[in-house]
Amino acid sequence: KPKGDITTNLVKFNNKKTKAQIIAKQNGVIAGLEFCKIAFKLVGKEAIFVKKVSDGSKVKKNKVIAEIKAKIKTILIAERTALNFLNHASGIATLTNEFVKKAGKTKICCTRKTTPNLRTLEKYSVKKGGGHNHRYNLSDEILIKENHISASNNLRELVKKAIKTNKIVTVEIENINQLKSIIDLKFKRVLLDNMSIQRLKKCLNLCKNKFQTEYSGNATLQNIKKISQTGIDRISVGAITHSSKSFDSSLLIF
């Protein structure tokens, strides 16, 4: 069981407050400042955390993100946890924003491919990067996926049952025949999964004015523009939460 910061405990401190700055070491979009602040406050109630930018702000390298005034012991103990929250959140916001810039009018959505216990932070960070949140949990919306279809063995009946719940219903489609079998039913959204651009366009023509449309499956910064140019309404990208690179920032005491 952890027993505190044994390195910091070696150093003798007075109770005088000192200042520190968190500085961006790259360009990007900031998120998670409140989480960062709370990390310092939980270690030392005396900590004063001053945001120099707000969540969702685009910053350049060397920009001061925040200033902390606290006992030096508080700063040393809280530093890494605080930066872990900030850098993880800002990394997601930054990557999301890169997708958003390339996708034009198409909405970029996150998925449930999140880190256990960090979904709230990660979905919040997606929004700060200009993205949109998909369902938060399994009871928010109905999403009929490949394995549900395999388990039920009757897509049309499954969709009819889903419609009766009055929840938002999304149906994952893998081929045109599946789409044709439910095209006359009234529900919110069709999720077109792992399709070539050619097949995607054919499905979109069938969906016109009937459903909201979404694409999923291996969307990258390299192909996102081509997918969005089909006229799809939304693209869900698991990578913005499960594969974002941590933002680079550092804390300096002065």
pLDDT value at residue 144: 97
With a cut of 90, say whether residue 121 has pLDDT above it: yes
Phi-psi region for residue 153, left (φ > 0), alpha (ψ -120 to 50) or beta?
A: left
Query: For residue 140, what are the CA distances in angstroms to 121, 143, 160, 169, 241?
Result: 18, 9, 18, 10, 19
Structure tokens at 205: 């023509």
Alpha carbons 162 and 214: distance in angstroms, whole number: 18
With a cut of 90, say whether residue 107 has pLDDT above it: yes
Over the stretch 218-246, which tens digit does the pLDDT of each residue have?
899 999 999 999 999 999 999 999 999 99
Over the stretch 179-189, which tens digit does the pLDDT of each residue have?
999 999 999 99
pTM (2 d.p.)? 0.94
Structure tokens at 132: 């949109």
Over the stretch 27-37, which tens digit does the pLDDT of each residue have?
999 999 999 99
pLDDT value at residue 11: 80
pLDDT value at residue 218: 87
Supply the mean pLDDT for the chain.
Answer: 95
